[in-house]
Amino acid sequence: MGETIIPLADLRYAAPVPVIPAQAIPATGLLADRLGRPLRDLRISVTDRCNFRCSYCMPKEVFDRDYVFLPQTSLLSFEEITRLARIFVAHGVQKIRLTGGEPLLRKGLESLIGLLAGLRTPDGDALDITLTTNGSVLARKAASLRAAGLQRVTVSLDGLDDAVFRRMNDVDFPVADVLAGIEAAHAAGLGPIKVNMVVQRGVNAQEILPMARYFRDHFDGRIVLRFIEYMDVGASNGWRMDQVLPSAEVLALLQAEWPLLQLDPTAAGETAERWRYADGRGEIGLISSVTRAFCQDCNRARLSTEGKLFLCLFASRGHDLRSLLRGGASDADITSALAGVWGARDDRYSELRAALPAAAGPAGAERRVEMHYIGG
């Protein structure tokens, strides 16, 4: 029998294989963790590669030309992703978000979207299928994504000033091409579109008002602009608390320019605090991932490119579902194993961090998974 070779990249986040319980645990659609949080949202990373080198996610000094990304054989196939997604949906998942890296770099992604769009919840409802992208190739992909069954997109955009944007993506990519992608997504009917801006004090905070003004004046107020506090995800971005601009300051800046009315959440576990312009010209969101932890309502699981399940954006270790898939486990076995993993979940990193002094992390914490590996 030939020797099994495990690529070095696969060892980056070593993960145990979930135990298959001796007593089967059937899916009921009501799976909850130790804190009573249901499983409702699955984020699937389809590639660990990206064509941007944003400093808060994939800084060029770390992710250079010598960096070893996952080989193609390590990635879950579209059929493997769909098989796992079907099991997650049986346990209660209602929404699937495709992420990366940059997910539109995964060849043939429309085929996967078509497979996922064919899944149904135990009640027979279609899933909410969405995707997060940097928008770099969205202009030429929007129509085919919509035709495949994608319902909406979230576009990452950290500023309108071209010089600022080129500096932040660190590959000299023009902001005009991302705006063209948003236009194409809007025209294709991928909506409602959300635009995410990660705000860093001293880097792009001056872009808050121009961004708000632009999306108020375009698309008839149908695009939701969301401001995200700069997060301490992974260890590559050199995160510092003094670079965090609290959402409260962002809100005050916006309210000084336009009256805003607060809105109720659209769903349980929603991460963004919602506000509507008093004149009806659109909506903004505030994601206070550092200053106001929302762990108590977190209903999200994350599946990495090669099949490791992470229960928290700030996790250090995952659970190796690929080994179950490729080791001959039945759907019933994987269903039971997943029930055991989620049922034991008690992650609440942001709440723990908030209780510690500034710039500190939970004592004894291991290196956390990088954002590009499991998506935001």
What is residue 376's predicted lDDT score, i.e. its pLDDT? Answer: 62
Does residue 23 fall inside a structural domain?
no
> Which amino acid, 305?
T
Q: How confident is the model at residue 233 (pLDDT cuts 50, 70, 90)?
A: low
Residue 364 has pLDDT above 70, yes or no: no
Chain-centre distance for alpha carbon 212: 22
Please enumerate in sequence order all residues whose Cβ is within 8 A of that of 125, keeping only pairs 6 or more positions apart, or say none.
94
The arithmetic mean of pLDDT across residues 215-241, rounded, is: 78
> Which amino acid, 319?
H
Residue 14 has pLDDT above 90, yes or no: no
Does residue 368 fall inside a structural domain?
no
What is residue 345's predicted lDDT score, i.e. its pLDDT? Answer: 95
Does residue 370 fall inside a structural domain?
no
Does residue 325 fall inside a structural domain?
yes
Give how far Cα 204 sits from Cα of 155, 199, 201, 229, 302, Å: 17, 6, 7, 12, 28
d(CA 333, CA 87): 10
Does residue 298 fall inside a structural domain?
yes
The arithmetic mean of pLDDT across residues 130-146, rounded, is: 98
Give me the domain span that covers residue 127: 8-18+35-358
DSSP state of 29: S
Does residue 374 fall inside a structural domain?
no
Q: How many domains does the chain have?
A: 1
Q: How confident is the model at residue 368 (pLDDT cuts 50, 70, 90)?
A: low
Percentage of the chain beyond pLDDT 70 is: 87
The arithmetic mean of pLDDT across residues 160-184, rounded, is: 97
Does residue 27 fall inside a structural domain?
no
Does residue 365 fall inside a structural domain?
no
Residue 360 has pLDDT above 70, yes or no: no
**CATH code, domain carrying 114:** 3.20.20.70
pLDDT tens digits, one per residue of 33-86: 999 999 999 999 999 999 999 988 888 988 999 998 999 999 999 999 999 999
